[in-house]
Amino acid sequence: MFPSPSFPLTAETWLRVGPYIPVLLRGLGVNIQILLGLIALGFVVGILIALLEVYAPRPLAFVGSAYAWFFRGVPEIVLLFLFYFGLSRTFNIPVSPFLAAVLALGLRSSAYQAQIFRGALLSIPHGQMMAARALGLGPVRAIFHVILPQALRLSLAGWSNEFSSVLKDTTLAWGIGVVEVMRQAAYIRGRDFPLTLPIYLTVAFMFLVLTYAGNWAIGAVEKRLRVPGLETRR
Contact residues toward other proteins (CB under 8 A) are: 1-9, 69-70, 73-79, 81-82, 85-87, 89-92, 164, 168-169, 171-172, 174-175, 182, 185, 189, 193-194, 196-197, 199-201, 203-204, 207-208, 211-212
| Nearest distance, CB of residue 112 and other proteins, angstroms | 11
| Nearest distance, CB of residue 34 and other proteins, angstroms | 13
* Of residues 146 and 188, the one with the C-beta less far from other proteins: 188
* Of residues 192 and 222, the one with the C-beta less far from other proteins: 192
* Of residues 133 and 214, the one with the C-beta less far from other proteins: 214
| Nearest distance, CB of residue 220 and other proteins, angstroms | 18
* 192 DSSP assignment: -
C-beta separation of 142 from 132 below 8 A: yes
Q: Which of 35, 37, 38, 80 is nearest to 210 (CA)?
A: 35
- By the 10 Å C-beta count (0-12 exposed, 13-18 middle, 19+ buried), 51 is classed as buried
Question: How far, in Å, CA of 19 to CA of 24, rounded?
Answer: 10
Q: Per-residue b/e over 61-80, b at no fewer than 16 CB within 10 Å?
A: beebbebbeebeeeebeebb
| Nearest distance, CB of residue 27 and other proteins, angstroms | 12
* Of residues 158 and 194, the one with the C-beta less far from other proteins: 194
